[in-house]
Amino acid sequence: MDRQIALEILLKYKQDNSYLNLTLNSYLQNDDLTRRQKDFITRVVYGTVQNLIFLEYILKPHLQGRVKSFEKMLLLMSLYQHFMMDAIPDYAIINEAVNLAKKKKGMRTAQFINAVLKKAFACSYSLEHLELQERLSIETSHPLWMVKMFVKQYGFETAKKICYANNETPYKCARVNTLMTTRDALLEDPAWEKGQLSKEGVYYNKGNIANSEAFQKGLVTIQDESSQLVAPLLNPLPGEYVLDMCCAPGTKTSHLAALMKNQGCIKAFDLYPHKIPLVEKQMERLGITIVELEAADSTQLAHRYPDNSFDKILLDAPCSGLGVLARKPEIKYHPADAMDEIIQIQEKLLENAYPLLKNGGNIVYSTCTINKKENEKQIAAFIKKHPDMLMIKELTILPYQYHSDGFYMCLLEKE
């Protein structure tokens, strides 16, 4: 049953080109599954997608011609179990795969799966003959264009650390809601541990944070530690008028409100109307009342408000997501040219933020990517266009440095 569910999730993800975590979570709502089963399914699903390029490289010599998606995905997830899950004996992996194939497609497909897996498990492989960047691409299942980009921007050794960190299991990380409790009070519960990067960061050492009592009571919200540095960088004060241009899912919005002690006003916008109720629910759970939410295109906001309207602006911009590949491995397989359109949107958002900011006010521009074209180069071009914008602080966190998401943030001040 475990493997059948894992296979269904992988096929649905591939067919719908959907977000892996949403597809997985919809299946894990099944109360008949034990914690152990859920953990196994999660590991197989994420592990297979995370290691897709490596697994396809291993599988390719054993296939002739085109293979249907059911058979191919079953082979890939079986190879993942063989190479990355040492506790499972090969005969068990093959038996389970053969039974799944027989049940779904019949004896002929089952025989094909059996033959391919036995050959693949028996063969040794080597990447030693490959050029360094190609080897890193296959070893860590990052597309070659991405490896080359990381090497160009950060050098080979740092690129290697980034790629390996992207395949590690992220911490279960949350931020303490200081409107309701303190970190010290929360840490009295042994299920929580102190974070290492943020003053309000905590790690959870049990199951799903969303199922914890602390989450349900609004004492914490799920947020990676590097992301928790963004709102304090903007440093919104109680009573200020703040703009959050791209607010969903509301995590940073709620952090701004907590820093403001729930006093003042945050105008929060998101492009997608269906996300607004989710943000509202989040604010309600955390006891936040100063956020005014609206669905709107923030690349048009400069036409809606007078110049110099806001004390502070958070622009947590849409981006390629190359800092969160450990949590969303499917992003690795997005086309390279998808970034070109995103860079133009980021530029429009910055141009809309500029007139809305008061003189002496601050903007924080942040992304969950480590691509310098979307970060340092984007900000350099913005400052060149607007010399009255001063860079106060710029910070890039790479995924391997704190076992956190990769993140970029920049604090700007308008003279």
Residue 209 makes CB contacts below 8 A (sequence gap 6+) with 172, 174, 215, 220, 222
The question of whether 368 is a catalytic residue gets the answer yes
Rounded distance, CA 135 to CA 142, Å? 10
Q: Which of 156, 172, 159 is nearest to 205 (CA)?
A: 172
- Please compute Rg for the chain using Cα positions: 23
Report the alpha-carbon angle 135-137-140, nearest 5. 100
User: Nearest 5°: phi and psi at 313?
Assistant: -135, 130
Residue in the block written with tokens 């105008």 = 267
Across the strands, what pairs with 293? 268
Which whole-number Å values give the CA distances from 194 to 13, 201, 289, 350, in the listed order? 35, 7, 28, 35
Q: In terms of DSSP H, where are the helices of 330-414?
A: 338-356, 376-385, 399-402
CA distance 121 to 332: 26
DSSP for residue 203: E
**Catalytic hit among 163, 173, 368, 410:** 368
Q: Catalytic residues, which ones? A: 368
